[in-house]
Structure formats: C-alpha cells, structure tokens
Structure 1
Amino acid sequence: MFKTIFSYAFRPFYLAASLYVIAIILLWYPFGYEGNQNYPSLFWHGHEMIYGFAGAVIVGFLLTAVSNWTNRPPTSGFPLLLLLILWVFARITVYLPLNQMVIVSMVFDSSFYLLSAFFIFRSLIQAKNRANLLVPIALLLFAGSNVLLTMALLGKITLSLLSIMQIGILGVVAFIGLIGSRVIPFFTSITLQKQNQFSKRYTMIAFITPLLMMLAMSFNLYPLLVFCLGATFAINNLWQLYRWFDLNILAHPLLWVLHVSFLFMAIGVFIMSYAYAFNLLYLPLGTHIIAIASIALIIQGMMSRTALGHTGRQMVLPKKMRIAFLLIIISAIIRAIASFYPGDYWLLTMSSISFAIAFMIFLFYYLPILIGPSRS
C-alpha cells in the first residue's frame, strides 16, 4: 500500500488535505475553537485554511502535474513521505500552546514548501522546461507570505495580520489564475470537441496581477493601486470565461464546477480590492467568496478530475459529487450573508457543516481511488 499511496503526490496530499479541512472547519464552527496564544482564533483559522489545507492541495497537484509537463518520473516514495511528514509536523505544532511554536511551525511549513519547490524546479531544469519556472518561484512567494504572518504574530513587523492573510489568499489565487487559465480551456476543448481557447497573455495577467497585489499590500503601497490591480484581474478573468463559454458546459459537472469557481474568483478579488481601498466592511465578504466559492470549489473540482485521470479511470463523476459541489456553493452563500452579521453562531455553523459534508462526500467516493491501485 505504501508504494501505491506514495506513487504520486496527489494521493497522500488530496487525502490529508480533505481529512484535515473537515476537522478544522468543524473545530472553527460549531465547536468554536479559539486557537491558543501562538495562533489566536481568526489567525489560526485563516492560517490553517490557507497554508495547511490549500497549500497541501497545491503541492499535491503541482508535484503530480510537473511529471506530465516534463515527461519525467514523479516525486514519489520516501521523498514524498518526507514532504508529508513536514506538512504534518507543521500542523501539529500549530496546536501546541508552548513558547516559540509559531517559529517551529513556520520552520516546518517553510521546509515543506522549499523542498516542494526544489523538486519542481529540479524536474523543470532537467527537462529544460523553462516555460514553467514561474511555478516554483510563485510557490516560494507563497511560502514567504507565511513567514510574513509569523513575523507579524511575533510583533517583528507592523504589517496588519489581516492584510497578511489576504496576501496568503492572493497567493492561492495566483496559482488558480495560472493553472486554471491553462487547464479550464483545455478540459473544455477536449470534453466538447472544440478549439482550445487558451491565451498566454490572459494567463499571465491572471497570474501576475494577484502577485502584484501581494507585493503592494506587503509594502503598504497605495490602496488605489491594489484596487486597480484587482479590477484588472476581475475583468481579465471574466473575459476569459466569456471566451471559453459554451452552453454544453452545463451538462458536464467536471467542467461547470471549474467555470463557476473561476467566476467567483473574479468577483471575490474585485470585492476584496474594493474593500482594501475604500471600505473594509466588505473585506470578509470578498475574502470568503474567494476562499469558499472559488478556492474550495475549484479544489474539489480539480481533485475530483485529476484523481480519476491519474489513476486511469474514465472521466465520469460519481453522481453524488454534484451534491458536494452544490454544498460548497451553499456554504459560500451562507458565509457571505454571515459577513453582514459578524459572529452569528448559527449562520457560521450552517456554513461550516455544509462545507464539511461536501468534503465527507468527496472522501466517501475518492478514498478508495486515492489509496487503491491505478487502472492503467
């Protein structure tokens, strides 16, 4: 079983991320876990959703994808086990109410991302695949935002903790912009038997603008600049969706889930940038539209699709997985409403339970796929 589970990065990391996100979303609400002196309340929740859950899926996807990009053997076996151990230790140390655990957790997280970036970079260099070298660089920037958060928690820098969490979310958005702008038109074209509408120009805009927003927010540059970048990102992604659109997408859940999440990402980033520049009251709304309706939804869509494809199965979604996708959207809608009723226990609980059930459904169908042998 070890050889099977650690044959590709998507297997252990999709599994670990799904189990972990169910636990932490239920800890948050309904159980109301308040964190500890190292990672108090909201900052624990944000940190673990971004760098624990989303980060694990990103690494699992990229380490699997890079072997396809380069036609080289994937990172597997004990190197992959080492990455998982680093990720697990980073998660465990977050919960230890001991001095310096913020630094210890940061060291484990940084080691996890640095080593992952190294494996990606090595494969790209060996294959002379320079077109994708921005991917490990972006992963390092994402890891750097975690270091910023640690320094802020320790009081070493004056940047707002909330701003840093937005920076971390934008790091995930950059990956989705880059990867989504490639795979969504590709998957659409092969499913609907139509021309691939991929555009390198629009893909780079979708990738670079969130990174520039991260830098602008890191250095406390003009809020209006952040808004202009957010608006540019939103317009670019909406234009891409228009170019890719075909009514037949609606008949394919593995397609529409990606298109819908890309739409919510454009909306969420625009609202976040508007809030940052003009009215911070809208920041929770923009943040959770991105986090749930975009990031969590596209994570489920991509995990559902790539787990089937990389194990040699037909690209047929289990029927009840459609319910899982809808539950994430429902979770996002409830959480969006809760943004205008801060601290409302029942709204937050309903959103969390809907979210958790969605990932329970995913595990019900995909656990045998993730731990079982491939069919080709």
Structure 2
Amino acid sequence: MKPAYLFKAGWRVFFLAAGIWAMISVAVWTLWLAGLGGSGTGAGVAPQLWHAHEMIFGYATAAMGGFFLTAVPNWTGAKAAPERFVMLVAGLWLAGRLAVALAGLLPPVLVAAIDLSFLPVLAAKVLTQLMARPKPQNMMFLLLITMVWSANLLVHLEWLGLAGTEWLGLRGGLLAIAAMIAALGGRVTPAFTRNALIRAGREDRLPVSRPWLDLPGTALPILTALVVLAGAPDAIGGILAIAAGLVAAARLSGWRPLALPGQPIVWALHLGYAMLALGLVVWGLAQLGWGSETGALHILGIGAIGGMTLAVMSRASLGHSGRALVAPRAVAIAYGLIPLAVALRWAGSAFAASFYLPGVIGSGLLWCAAFALYLGALWPIFFELRRNEAEVAA
C-alpha cells in the first residue's frame, strides 16, 4: 500500500473519507447519548445538531465528491481531475469538518467560510467536465449540488445569528441528497441489474424502465426538496413526498428487485432505492400529521442515503480497482446491517420514550459496524494501483 496513490482518483480518497467519517460522526453522537461523551461534542452547537449536520454535509458530501469526480469523466469523456485538484478538494472537505468541530473556538463567519467552500469548488470542476458533452440529465446535478450547498448556508445563517433557518437547512439538505439518490439510483439500479442478468445468461426478463415514470421519479423528489428549502407549508412538501415515494416504488417494481438474491452488490442497490420510496412516503405522512418526522427522516438518512451510498461506493471501488464486481462477505453483511439500523432508529422515535435510547444507540452501533466492515474489507484498495496498472508497473 502506498499513501501517494490515495489521490490518484476522487473515488479513492472520498470513499475512504466517507467511510471513516460515517463511523466518527455516529460514534461521537452515540457515545454522548450513552453518557460517555461529556457535556457535548466541542462543536459549539448542540450534539444532536452537530451529528445531523455532519451526516448530511460531511458524510454525504464526501460520497458525492467521490462519485462525481469518478462518474462525470465517464459520462462525458472529459479528462479526470488531476491529483493536485483531488488533494485540494479533499483538503477543503476536511477543513470543513475541522472548522465545524472547533466552532466553539472559532468566529462563526470563519467556520461558515471554510465549511461552505468545498461544494462550489467541486461544482466548478463538475461543470467544466460536463461542458465536454452537455446533456440536461447530467447538468441537472449542478442544481442538486447547489441545493445542498444552499441548505448548508441556511444552517450557517442561524449559527451566525442572522436567521432562524437551522432546521430548515438540515431538513432541506437531507431531502436534496435524497433527491440526488432518486436521480442517480434511477439510473444505476436498473442498468447494473440488467448487466448482471445478462452476465448470468438470464435475458428473458430484464428490468423495465417506464418513461412515463422516469421523469416524475426524478422531478418529484427535487421539487419536494425545493419547496422545503423555500419554507413552503408542511402539507405541500408532504403531498409531494408521498407522490414521489409512490412513483419510486412503482419504478422499482419494474427493475426485477428479487431477480438476483445471490448477488448482494446488486440487491443492495434495490434495497437502498426501496428505502427511498418508503422514507418519502413516511415523511410525507408525518408532514400531514401521521407518524414521527424524525423517524421518517432517519429512514431516508440511514436507509436511502446510507444504504445507496454504501452500495455505490463499494461497487465503484471494486470496479475501478480492477476487481470482480462481487461484494466481499464483510461488505455483504454491511449491506444487511443498514435496514436493521433503520428499524431500530425508527422504533426509537415511534414507540414509547423508554425505547428511545436503546433504539438510537443500537442503531448507531449497527451503522458503525456496517462501515467498519466496509473499511476493513476495502481499505487496501484505496491505496493500491488498479490491478492492470500494477501489472504494467511491475
């Protein structure tokens, strides 16, 4: 293993950073809940808000960075980002995490400036690469990145004492990333399932994408996030979210979700997308007064965003390192731990108050275990040359 290889591609450093930060940000929160973390996180904000902020704008944006720096050159044929740029944006992302962690010691305006710097630099690189072959379905992701950045800005505006928009930003940021999962998952899930079925010689019943569902399947989650960020009444966002969830479920039904039970690297994508459909419906119902909004947001956060990013990061890491697209046993187990973490976290919010701590702590432990398995299985990949490159170098 050579640390210098870590910055040769965006997926290496960001998928590693995402896995590490997934564990750290949840472990700190879980330890605090268990009474082992002192009076707070040192972040200058309430521990539960630090945890929420870092899962949305720390973990999820790291996964985004790795994905876009890897996928966009493949979409457009543009040159991949050079090592020095990968080092720059990775440094900006890390600086944001440190600034928020030390927010109690730093001027709020400095914390905001540092934490808000990562996504604009990433978006600028994505824009230059997309312009090599501009297509509306790809340019749309710049809107989504802007929405996530705007949500983080709303959080910082309250931390600066300028507006009461912290919760609006956290909720809107999570929903914007869920919309990104809807757009990306709607592409990769049927495509990767089709490829796997063809490789298995099962071409009789391939996944079916229905054009009349594809547009609303992408547009409705984006619209839901937009109306939330705009501060629209809860009922409007709730109705849109329910519609988005039902469309997502209808799309998934045509993608043969049960066709390859022996291939975790495929069914994990379906599971993540199913969590997206469920989470949107449950959150929409909560906005209309039925059920726990916190529980619903964690279905989206843990199940849809966590589950889909874990599936995509592990698949991309294997594929781009020249390895077979077969999930190691540890990673397959990690896929299965995510829905268990969802169930416990939802139960912690939905049932009696006496189950809150056991549910949340149990969920946190399962989440940390899942990402420990992911990191343990794939750690060497992030520091090694692609296999055919290593053969040439030898």
TM-score, with structure 2 as normaliser: 0.89
Alignment match, 1:75: 81
Rounded to whole Å, the distance in 1 between the matches of 2:353 and 2:360 is 9
Match of 1:4 in 2: 5
Report what 1:213 is aligned to. Answer: 224
Aligned to 1:113: 119
1:46 to 41, 52, 66: 52
Structure 1 stretch 187-196 or stretch 63-72: which is displaced more? Answer: 187-196
1:165 to 2:170 alignment = yes
Q: 1:187 to 1:72 in 2, by over 3 A?
A: same
The 2-side partners of 1:136 and 1:8 are apart by 21
- Closer, same or farther: CA 200–182 of 1 in aligned 2, 3 Å: farther
Question: Mean Cα displacement is larger for which, 148-157 or 357-366?
Answer: 148-157
1:18 is matched with: 19
Q: Give the structure 2 partner of residue 154 of structure 1.
A: 160
Which string of whole-angstrom CA distances, capped at 9 and with x for unpartnered residues, describes residues 203-224 of structure 1?
Answer: 4323322222222223332322
Amino acid corresponding to residue 275 of structure 2 in structure 1: F
Aligned partner of 2:392 in structure 1 is none
1:163, CA displacement in angstroms?
A: 3.3
- Structure 1: distance between partners of 2:186 and 2:103: 41
User: Counterparts of 1:37 and 1:66 in 2: how far apart (Å)?
Assistant: 34
Once residues 118 and 3 of structure 1 are traced to their aligned partners in structure 2, the CA distance between those partners, rounded to angstroms, is: 25
CA distance in 2, matches of 1:77, 1:2: 13
**Residues 230 and 82 of structure 1, relative CA distance in 2, 3 Å threshold:** same
Q: Residue 262 of structure 1: CA displacement? A: 0.7
- Which segment drifts farther, 256-265 or 100-109? 100-109
Q: Displacement, 1:319?
A: 1.6
Whole-angstrom CA distance in 2 between matches of 1:163 and 1:272: 15
| 2:125 counterpart letter in structure 1 | F
Change (3 A) 1:196 1:112: same
SS of the aligned residue for 1:108 comes to helix
Identity of aligned residues (%): 25
Distance 1:56 1:341, change over 3 A: farther
2:116 counterpart SS class = helix
2-side partners of 1:124 and 1:201: how far apart?
A: 26
Q: 4+ residue runs of structure 1 moved beyond 6 angstroms? A: none
Asked whether 1:372 is paired with 2:372, we answer: no
CA displacement 1:148-202 (0-9 Å, x = unmatched):
111123332234x333211111111111011000000000100012445345553
Give how far 1:294 is off: 1.5
TM-score (norm 1): 0.93
Tell me the equivalent position of 1:293: 303
Measure the CA separation in 1 of the matches of 2:22 and 2:316. 19
The answer to whether the Cα contact below 8 Å between 1:318 and 1:365 also exists between their aligned partners in 2 is yes
Say if 1:219 and 1:73 are closer, same or farther in 2 by CA, change over 3 A: closer
Amino acid at match of 1:156: L
Q: 1:38 and 1:98, CA in 2 relative to 1: closer, same or farther beyond 3 A?
A: closer
Distance 2:111 2:287 in 1: 29
For the 8 Å contact 2:77–2:132, the answer to whether it is kept is: no
Displacement after TM superposition at 1:10 (Å): 0.7
Is residue 181 from structure 1 mapped to residue 186 from structure 2 by the alignment? Answer: yes
Work out the CA distance in 2 between the residues paired with 1:116 and 1:284: 30
Match of 2:261, SS?
A: helix
Aligned to 1:361: 373
1:61 pairs with 2:67: yes
Worse-matched range after superposition: 58-67 or 247-256: 247-256
Q: Distance in 2 between matches of 1:130 and 1:332?
A: 34
Q: 2:95 aligns with which of 84, 89, 94?
A: 89
- Superposed CA RMSD: 2.0
1:207/1:255 CA distance change after superposition, 3 Å: same
User: 1:212 and 1:101, CA in 2 relative to 1: closer, same or farther beyond 3 A?
Assistant: farther
Between 130-139 and 28-37, report the one with greater CA deviation. Answer: 28-37
Deviation digits for residues 86-109 of structure 1 (CA, Å, limit 9, x no counterpart): 111100111214465443333223
Moved more, 284-293 or 3-12: 3-12
Structure 2 CA distance for partners of 1:288 and 1:175, relative to 1, 3 Å: same
Change (3 A) 1:230 1:358: same
Whether 1:305 and 2:306 are equivalent positions in the alignment is: no
Structure-2 separation of matches of 1:104 and 1:142? 20
The alpha carbon displacement at 1:322 in A equals 1.8
Partner of 1:248: 259
Of 284, 288, 291 in structure 2, the residue corresponding to residue 277 of structure 1 is: 288
- Answer yes or no: is 1:190 the counterpart of 2:195: yes
Deviations 1:331-373 (A, max 9, x none): 1111111113458333322211111111111111101111111
Q: 1:39 to 1:210 in 2, by over 3 A?
A: farther
**Secondary structure of the residue that 2:164 maps to in structure 1?**
coil
CA contact (8 A) 1:118 1:136 kept: no
